[in-house]
């Protein structure tokens, strides 16, 4: 947590986060242009943000795309804010989000990227992602499929009334990479979004990166932005402690809003 506070203490680095929040997935050149800063200086600030896990770098061919990672800020909120004056803060946050959403309606919906580090093996994380019984514990819904490329998958409702989310497996490379479509709307005119799980060994732990792309609108982006942190915090807790967090139902439900 010390690295996070050190990174946030600098105004330039906060500006980098603001720029990525406004338009995620920028290249280093784009960030330099927006900041009006030399490449070397910008790189130094970005490296500090990456070490603090506030920024994630995703390679696309020869490009390195930079994404805001909300996980450390979510942890700060859970540890120091949520237990104090949550109702008032939620009300203020709702007002702010409404204003931001109205502004964002005229912009391109960004890609959502979330990174978390889990004290587990890659095989254990893969099993948690693909095992129906385990996913039912941390997601609240069993994720059911044979997880072969081209096969359907679905996030089943506990009451048996159908699925909350469905889609098709696009890529499956155990235990490191799983890509699938994510269809959470009956609207046949909407193209499904795509979710990629990347499981990478990181020293003695595992780095799990979730990338949610091709989001249709701001409402969908806001929904998964609230949902994924709750789902992945539960997954992390289950693998590290054997139990899930006492997560509020609204947070879990919005994972597939």
Whether residue 83 is predicted with pLDDT greater than 60 in this model: the reply is: no
Report the Cα–Cα distance between both ends of the chain, in Å, rounded. 30
Q: How confident is the model at residue 249 (pLDDT cuts 50, 70, 90)?
A: very low
Q: Cα(210)–Cα(194) distance, rounded to whole angstroms?
A: 10
Percent of the chain residues past pLDDT 90, beyond the cut = 48
| Predicted pLDDT at 234 | 93
With residue 195 as reference, give the H or E element that holds it.
strand 193-202
Domains along the chain with CATH numbers = 2-69 (1.10.10.10), 108-256 (3.30.530.20)
Percent of the chain residues past pLDDT 70, beyond the cut = 80
Q: Cα(64)–Cα(120) distance, rounded to whole angstroms?
A: 27
DSSP class of residue 186 equals: -
Whether residue 248 is predicted with pLDDT greater than 70 in this model: the reply is: no
Q: Which two tokens stand for residue 8?
A: 């946030």
Name which of 41-45, 49-53, 158-162 the model is least confident about. 158-162
Would strands 177-182 and 152-156 be described as parallel, antiparallel, or unpaired? unpaired
| Predicted pLDDT at 250 | 37
* Three-state DSSP class for residue 13: helix
What would the pLDDT profile of 58-76 be if each residue is shown by its tens digit?
888 788 899 988 778 777 6
| Predicted pLDDT at 51 | 92
What would the pLDDT profile of 230-246 be if each residue is shown by its tens digit?
999 999 999 999 999 87
Q: In 10-138, which ranges are E strands?
A: 55-60, 63-68, 112-118
What number is the average pLDDT over the span 102-127?
A: 82
| Predicted pLDDT at 75 | 73
Q: Cα(201)–Cα(14) distance, rounded to whole angstroms?
A: 29
Q: Distance of CA 217 to CAs 106, 186, 210, 229, Å?
A: 10, 15, 19, 19
Whether residue 50 is predicted with pLDDT greater than 90 in this model: the reply is: yes
Verify cis geometry, omega within 30 degrees of 0, for the bond prior to 36.
no
């Amino acid at each position: 947590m010390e690295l996070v506070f050190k990174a946030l203490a600098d105004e330039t680095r906060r500006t980098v986060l603001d720029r990525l929040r406004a338009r995620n997935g920028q290249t280093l050149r784009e960030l330099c242009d927006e900041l009006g800063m030399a490449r070397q200086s910008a790189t130094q600030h970005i490296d500090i943000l990456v070490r603090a896990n506030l920024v994630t770098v995703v390679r696309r061919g020869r490009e390195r795309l930079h994404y805001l990672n909300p996980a450390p800020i979510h942890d700060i909120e859970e540890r120091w804010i949520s237990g104090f004056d949550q109702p008032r803060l939620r009300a203020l946050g709702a007002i702010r989000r409404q204003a931001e959403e109205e502004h964002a309606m005229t912009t391109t919906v960004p890609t959502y990227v979330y990174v978390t580090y889990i004290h587990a093996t890659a095989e254990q994380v893969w099993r948690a992602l693909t095992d129906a019984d385990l996913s039912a514990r941390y997601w609240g819904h069993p994720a059911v499929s044979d997880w072969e490329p081209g096969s359907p998958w679905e996030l089943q409702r506990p009451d048996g009334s159908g699925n909350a989310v469905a889609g098709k497996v696009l890529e499956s490379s155990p235990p490191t990479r799983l890509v699938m479509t994510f269809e959470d709307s009956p609207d046949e005119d909407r193209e499904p979004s795509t979710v990629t799980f990347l499981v990478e060994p990181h020293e003695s732990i595992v780095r799990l990166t979730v990338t949610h792309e091709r989001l249709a609108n701001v409402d969908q982006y806001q929904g998964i932005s609230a949902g994924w942190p709750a789902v992945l915090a539960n997954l992390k807790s289950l693998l590290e402690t054997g139990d899930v967090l006492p997560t509020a139902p609204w947070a879990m439900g919005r994972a597939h809003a």
